[in-house]
Structure 1
């Protein structure tokens, strides 16, 4: 089987050319890669997973909280820098930014911007009490959730419209298209912690928004999943630079497990006597999705080994696609293990967490090295 589709059919990988010269400093804002916020998403989810003390060893609880808080501060700092950089790019180089929206790979990556804000909101609700006052946690969560929700819906519609009005060959389908759906599902997780701090009518509104955006993102995920499955079966494998995008499929699965559980817990006051039933439905549906997630993880890992054996994978910012999806599925696995009180699921969760740390550490080190040499700025 060919390693890449014909040049006329393949989507432009938009990856780093290891032999290329570093980008001139004057162009770094104009050419800012839209996938940078994937680093925020990946670092934030690692903070959440670490803070929750995988394995539940009591002696490690304090260490887990300290490490989780440290990673959270890193995610905040990275997010703050990128918000300024992205805002500057859209204000000064709007044509370049709009060109990315129309790109079959980069366009989907733009959804990492609201994705980063929403994951920061989720992280704030989990880790925030350790690093800031309770009132500040609620305010920051609300601001991040509101901004992330608005941008997520805008990017979801904008990118989909570009696909509908454009003409793309089937091999252009890639796992990066999962990003807008997963970001839309995260809206429910970001809003759930706010239910305890609002009036009853507002809580009902938040639940409606949460379930509505959950349905929106889940259906979009299934549509993209069908397209990608068809593309993988009927065409050669995507080129090696797109290998990380296959792992992104774990993101919608993990978040689709966590979101209904979060809404069921947060909405108990609204659901009243039906709350246990809602929770059980969320748990059963989440467990069913978890089974599919294990299958997708196995497929993604097997294909990654195949890519590695076929030749070295070029490093680029798309490697951050290994982190958040795996992190979301890891946190979902740990949550299901706690809900079911099944040791085997806990063990799987710990193994996934260790794998996540390996990916995050590797990608972070490669990113820092790329920043040092300047090659990270190449597309």
Structure 2
């Protein structure tokens, strides 16, 4: 299990964490959902610690096999799931931890956020650099997994926006501005990849059935991008007014609502396309693998963006849509979690393509003469 462990498993922490946050914001007043969300968040912390220990053990005891991931054109993309999984835990400390533990939970969330930012920036820069220098890629073999290392920074940005309202004026302003920069570090690049992905779908049709769930990944950067803009907008009036720039607060709020709505509409197209592609895959027979967690997180962040849009625009339609999406998210999560537990118990989900794909170990760089 340790030798075959890959970062793909952190997709389970992303899906579990986003469901916990979504249930806590369900538009109907159902108190038990808060308790369920908190239980899922605590379970998610345990999962993240377990997966972190297993992956660290692989690097310690099976180093030669573990380092092959840097040359694998698919599995290496899943490094981005580690900071994104951590971000859901950070958000949970804000939503569930502060009511239970007060300032202690806030301090933990603040420290973890900076660690998350560091990992997200590293993934967003170093993984593409490996794609440019050491990995073999082609347009025909491209899938939406290219988005995973890129999107981590905007997920960290949205987490920063949740922290801002609980921090002091100076630190809150710093985190707010850095979150804007993290959003820009990720979203434009992700949108560029979506353009290429659309061209790839036109020229080479749908990916193989084993990559069926990746169809939903395109929704991730759009939903997170919309959510980030909306949260920035909510914070902007108070943050900029405290710094003597009240006019900037109004601008930030306007950009958040307008930009969030535009991205939400763009995401609706990718969401409906993902549904159509999934129906096609189901008819053809869709094999289960750990990648099925891609059904959860993108839909989750899009659901959260929809509810944020409902709060910003006061349109009941967005609340209804957000509630329906959360119900679908819960159904997806239950299905995938049951199948994952079965596959983990039987052992067939523990599989590292790097060990069997013929990827040679990374040779050390030649020494300078």
TM-score after normalising by structure 1: 0.87
Q: Deviations over 1:286-311 (max 9, x none)?
A: 0010011111010011011111112x
Which residue in 2 is equivalent to 1:266? 235
Which residue in 1 is equivalent to 2:115? 147
Runs of 5+ consecutive residues of structure 1 not aligned to the other structure: 1-27
Cα contact 1:317–1:376 (8 A) shared by 2: yes
Cα contact 1:102–1:159 (8 A) shared by 2: no
- The 2-side partners of 1:237 and 1:193 are apart by 37
- Return the offset for 1:277: 2.9
Which residue in 2 is equivalent to 1:349? 322
- The 1-side partners of 2:24 and 2:173 are apart by 29
Aligned match for 2:27, one of 30, 45, 55: 55
Which residue in 2 is equivalent to 1:364? 337
Cα contact 1:101–1:110 (8 A) shared by 2: no
The alpha-carbon distance between structure 1 residues 198 and 113, as it changes in their structure 2 partners (threshold 3 A), is same
Which residue in 1 is equivalent to 2:299? 326
**Residue 286, structure 1, aligned to residue 260, structure 2:** yes
Aligned match for 2:55, one of 74, 86, 93: 86
Which residue in 1 is equivalent to 2:44? 75
**Residue 135, structure 1, aligned to residue 103, structure 2:** yes
Q: Deviations over 1:177-208 (max 9, x none)?
A: 11122211011122223334545443332222
**Residue 119, structure 1, aligned to residue 80, structure 2:** no
The alpha-carbon distance between structure 1 residues 203 and 89, as it changes in their structure 2 partners (threshold 3 A), is same
Cα contact 1:101–1:158 (8 A) shared by 2: no
Cα contact 1:117–1:147 (8 A) shared by 2: no
- The 2-side partners of 1:245 and 1:354 are apart by 21
Aligned pairs for 1:226-265 (under 5 A) are 226-265=195-234
- The 2-side partners of 1:162 and 1:297 are apart by 30
**Residue 183, structure 1, aligned to residue 156, structure 2:** no
- The 1-side partners of 2:162 and 2:43 are apart by 22
Which residue in 1 is equivalent to 2:363? none
Aligned match for 2:308, one of 323, 328, 335: 335
Q: Describe the SS at the equivalent of 2:218.
A: helix
Which residue in 2 is equivalent to 1:39? 12
Aligned match for 2:124, one of 156, 167, 170: 156
- The 2-side partners of 1:95 and 1:214 are apart by 35
Q: Describe the SS at the equivalent of 1:173.
A: coil
Please report the RMSD computed on the Cα atoms of aligned residues, expressed in angstroms. 1.7
Cα contact 1:118–1:149 (8 A) shared by 2: no
Q: Describe the SS at the equivalent of 1:212.
A: helix
Mean Cα deviation higher: 202-211 or 245-254: 202-211
Which residue in 2 is equivalent to 1:223? 192
- The 1-side partners of 2:236 and 2:322 are apart by 26
Q: Describe the SS at the equivalent of 2:72.
A: coil
The alpha-carbon distance between structure 1 residues 196 and 302, as it changes in their structure 2 partners (threshold 3 A), is closer
Aligned match for 2:2, one of 15, 18, 29: 29
- The 1-side partners of 2:67 and 2:129 are apart by 13
Q: Describe the SS at the equivalent of 1:168.
A: coil
TM-score after normalising by structure 2: 0.89
- The 1-side partners of 2:54 and 2:111 are apart by 19
Runs of 5+ consecutive residues of structure 2 not aligned to the other structure: 353-369
- The 2-side partners of 1:176 and 1:296 are apart by 15
Cα contact 1:204–1:270 (8 A) shared by 2: yes
Q: Deviations over 1:150-186 (max 9, x none)?
A: 1111122221012112442211211111112221101
- The 1-side partners of 2:114 and 2:3 are apart by 27
- The 1-side partners of 2:63 and 2:117 are apart by 22
